[in-house]
Amino acid sequence: MQKIAIVGASGFTGAELLRLCAAHPDFEVVLATGETQAGTAAADLYPSLAAQYPSLIYAEADPAALDGCDVAFLGLPHGASQALVPELLGRVGHVVDLGADFRLTDASLYPIWYGEPHTAPSLLAEAVYGLPELFRNSLPGAALVAVPGCYPTAAALALAPFMRAGVVEPGNIVVDAASGVSGAGRGPKPGTTFCAVDEDFSAYGLAGGTVDAPVGHRHTPEIEQAISMDSDGSALGAMDDVSVLFTPHLAPMNRGILATCYVRPTADIDSTSALSLLSDAYTGEPFIVVSKRSPSTKATAGSNTAHLTARVDPRTGLLIVVCAIDNLVKGASGQAIQCANVALGLAEATGLPTTGMYP
């Protein structure tokens, strides 16, 4: 059995990690920390976990307590992993960070998009970007994995096949995406209470130089980075050539991401050939469904599967690619386990559901 530690296990992604690890035949959770919930039983905070974890108590985070663990999953607020990861490397076999601290390869982007400089920039080159369908070859044996954000996962899965095929313009890409409220985390916020979200649909993180989002949503450079790299991590072209206008929306649902991406083709393609290109790119992928059906978040709920489709609008000439995922599974915890499986040399799909819950 692989010994698993989950640091930050009291949040939604941590609870999802606990749920998925419970079904993993090779994982044994030996430590779950939760700074704000230390001393609390996991079953009291999340009764859904009671059957599998009747006696699990959230502990305080202590790097020494992780010594000898095979995998440490980190589900921490932005900035916290930068201080912790240098202490964990060497103590544990693999660090799988679900936060944004090691996703960007260029340290100079962190002050611009996250408002503060990176405190461990030397580790950015060591981190492997954990989107297996696009960058699988870098994952085996990886000591540090940076799990993509939920929005970048959906956008990159939709756009990367067309970028890599060289059939679309790299500039003026539009990504319009909506997320369920769980993407905002477990902590209470004025804009994510039931009364604020129910019967509402709103955009946030708008680009345009406002005080709350001076350059737009912080996932923008991550999307640009992911779709501008080949499978070996090399650049498809100059990063300056890739530009994405990303607008996220908050939808009144618990789970899910629906990303609708617009890009202009440079080749003579129609809906049939676009769908064929997308299907060929993901042939044999256990967690990808490509279909003529319009993807829905409900179809992905609880699963690690992404649903995609593509169309070319004959009137405007634009290519439209749509991707739906569960933001807590393929967009976070499920993808983290998928990466850990590859890093450990296990079968990639081990312990991960491919079918959604319906209704």
**Whether the predicted pLDDT of 250 surpasses 80:** yes
Q: Residues 317-336: what's their mean pLDDT?
A: 98
Q: How far is CA 120 from the centre of its chain?
A: 21
- The CA distance from 76 to 259, in Å, is 25
Whether 180 shows a pLDDT value over 70: the answer reads yes
Which of the residues are catalytic?
150
- Per-residue pLDDT for 161 more than 70? yes
Q: At 232, is the pLDDT very low, low, confident or very high (cuts 50, 70, 90)?
A: confident
Split at pLDDT 50, 70, 90, the class of 184 is: confident
Is the separation of the CB atoms in 88 and 72 below 8 Å?
yes
pLDDT tens, 291-305? Answer: 999 999 999 999 999
Burial of 186 (C-beta count, 10 Å sphere; 0-12/13-18/19+): middle
Region 232-238: mean pLDDT is 78
Check if the beta carbon of residue 309 is closer than 8 Å to that of residue 322. yes
Residue 210 pLDDT: 60
Residue 286 predicted with pLDDT over 80: yes
pLDDT in tens, 195-206: 888 999 999 988
Contact 345, 136 (CB under 8 A): no
Instruction: State the DSSP H helix or E strand holding residue 7, giving kind and residue range, or none if neither.
Output: strand 2-7
Check whether 151 has a pLDDT greater than 80. Answer: yes
pLDDT at 212: 54
pLDDT at 81: 96
User: What pLDDT does 211 receive?
Assistant: 55
Please check the confidence at residue 130 and state whether its pLDDT lies above 90.
Answer: yes
> Letter for the amino acid at 48?
S
Which band of pLDDT confidence, cut at 50, 70 and 90, is reported for residue 37?
A: very high
Residue bearing the bigger pLDDT, 238 or 218: 218
What pLDDT score was predicted for residue 251? 95
Q: Is 234 helix (H, G, I), strand (E, B) or coil?
A: coil
Tell which residue, 326, 300, 259, has the closest CA to residue 16. Answer: 326
Phi (first) and psi of residue 113, to 5 degrees: -100, -20
Q: Give me the domains of the chain, ranges plus CATH numbers.
A: 2-147+330-344 (3.40.50.720), 151-327 (3.30.360.10)
pLDDT at 240 over 90: no
Mean pLDDT of 310-324: 98
Flag whether pLDDT at 238 surpasses 80: no
pLDDT for the residue numbered 193: 87
CA dist 138 and 274 (Å) reads 28
The pLDDT of residue 230 is above 60: yes
pLDDT, one tens digit per residue, over 45-86 is: 999 999 999 999 999 989 999 999 999 999 999 999 999 999
Confidence band, pLDDT 50/70/90 cuts, at residue 94: very high
- pTM for this prediction: 0.96
Task: Give the C-alpha separation, 290 to 287, whole Å.
Answer: 10
Q: Residue 338: pLDDT above 90?
A: yes
User: Which amino acid appears at position 348 of this protein?
Assistant: E
pLDDT for position 209: 60
Q: Are the C-beta atoms of 348 and 333 separated by less than 8 Å?
A: no
Q: How high does pLDDT run on average in the chain? A: 94
Q: How far is CA 128 from CA 96, 158, 218, 285, 334, in A?
A: 9, 20, 19, 20, 17
pLDDT at 123 over 80: yes
**Region 182-209 average pLDDT:** 85
Tell me which residue of 88, 48, 83 sits closest to 66, measured CA to CA. Answer: 88
